[in-house]
Amino acid sequence: MTIRVIGLDPGLRHTGWGVIEVEGSRLSYIADGAVHSVDEDDLATRLLQIHQQILAVLEEFKPDEAAVEEAFVNKDARATLKLGQARGVVMLAPVLFKMGVAEYAPNVIKKTVVGNGHAEKDQVKKMVKILLPRAQLKTADSVDALAIAICHAHHRSAKALQQKLARS
pLDDT string in tens for the chain (168-residue length): 899 999 999 999 999 999 999 998 899 999 999 999 999 999 999 999 999 999 999 999 999 999 999 877 677 888 889 889 999 999 999 999 999 899 999 999 999 999 999 999 999 999 999 999 999 999 999 999 999 999 999 998 766 545 545 666
Q: Residue 41 catalytic?
A: no
Q: What is the pTM of this model?
A: 0.92
Q: Residue 65 catalytic?
A: no
pLDDT of 166 reads 60
What H or E segment, with its residue span, contains residue 157? helix 140-167
Residues 6+ apart with CB under 8 A from 136: 29, 31, 32
Considering the candidates 39, 70, 103, 141, report the single residue annotated as catalytic: 141
Considering the candidates 9, 32, 65, 144, report the single residue annotated as catalytic: 9
3-class DSSP state of 105? coil
Q: Residue 23 catalytic?
A: no
Residues 131, 167: Cα–Cα separation, whole Å: 34
Give, in order, the Cα–Cα distances in Å from 27 to each of 115, 153, 162.
Answer: 17, 8, 23
pLDDT of 156 reads 87
Helical segments of 62-139, H only:
77-96, 106-113, 121-131
CB 116 within 8 A of CB 110: yes
Considering the candidates 41, 60, 64, 69, report the single residue annotated as catalytic: 69
pLDDT of 165 reads 54
